[in-house]
Structure 1
Amino acid sequence: MIDLHYWTTPNGHKVTIFLEEAGLPYTIFPVNISTGDQFKPEFLKIAPNNRIPAILDRDPTGGGEPISVFESGAILIYLAEKSGRFLPTDPRGRAEVLQWLMWQMGGLGPMAGQNHHFVQYAPERIPYAMERYVKETNRLYGVLDRRLADREFVAGDYSIADMAAYPWIVPYERQQQNLDDFPNLKRWFEAIRERPAVVRAYDRAKEINTQPTMSEEAKKIMFGQTAANLPGGAK
């Protein structure tokens, strides 16, 4: 059984997609990041960066004590290795998947996240920042579109690379992107959106978070933290 500490963000969706695709049993423990659950000491024990998602595998391969994992990319690799699915074992196939997973972790996710912040949530509109991240998101969409020109999925077969990238494309309108400008990406996006496991994953999100709007108080909690604010933090 996997304990999934989760909220309804793109990084959270990655893990529910994997768990639904692989058919691994799991229980969701909601971590409402808009009310500060991510700073509770019990959560920080398994997620020291106070970010969701995190998992606790109560039945790890080889037995022994439960294993906790934080960071969505690390979780995807861990679960893929545990289940033997969605990550090739041959060196070339594995390298293809892992480099595109890291592309998402280091590029698409952070840049789209800054896009979301400055376009949707920043208390003041900063034209330079907005343009910077909207354009960089557009560039990354172009990279993905070119990659998908001659293959069905990002690394050939459906893999954790697709599961990592897809949730960051879902809010494309908020990112001020037009999927019609990226026909290969659009074909890929629509194919993944229709997968039964993906539908189930997003249905779980609707059950967990029934009010996905961002209040001013939530913005203060999510965007106003320093090291000193954390339990046991620097003074």
Structure 2
Amino acid sequence: LPLFSALLGIWNRNFLDYSTEAIIPYSQALLYFPLHLQQLDMESNGKSIDKNCEKLTYKSGPIIFGDIGTNAQHSFFQLLHQGTDIISLEFIGFKKSQYQKDLKVKETLSQEKLLSNMFAQSIALAKGEKNKNPNKNFSGNRPNHILLANELDPFTLGALLSYFENKVAFQGFIWDINSFDQEGVQLGKVLANKFLGLFAKKEMDFDIGKEYLKFLQ
């Protein structure tokens, strides 16, 4: 499954030229999961140099962002449905509530409401809806797929982590990049330490930093 997902991501990134992927879990407990996946993917495969220190001639890691579905539907889904850029999506859903008791409101359980919204968004993005009013016309053909598990428990969470970690590693192998370093993070740390030196009133050869600090005066 991780290899299939990696190849699907390669198809979207390198053949369809989609630069961004949204991760949308329909579970409040996974509120910060998209942020973890953002760090995992973008720090690992956000590279433009291959393992032989040659510049890549093709695109590598995508931009990753996301939020839980109940938030995302009312914040950025408008752009996903009708925006000028096509963004691929990966939904994460669960058949059962992680809690022992589920709340029934108006004849359906809260988990059924979450699933209904997730399935509805997936269909709307894929199929769209024709309307003579351009403002209400949905072109569809917005790529998305669903990861559906029985329920969110420690085993399932571990499986999700493993799935995404292996997906990112497979993509790194295919792009021939080193997914296990983070040189892009280091330069910022070095420069931050130079700024700290300026704040500590140490004499430093960091003229551009001194220019920045003038804005604090």
Instruction: Using structure 1 for the length normalisation, give the TM-score.
Output: 0.25
Structure 1 or 2: more strand by fraction: 2
**Larger gyration radius, structure 1 or structure 2:** 2
Instruction: Using structure 2 for the length normalisation, give the TM-score.
Output: 0.27
Structure 1 or 2: more helix by fraction: 1
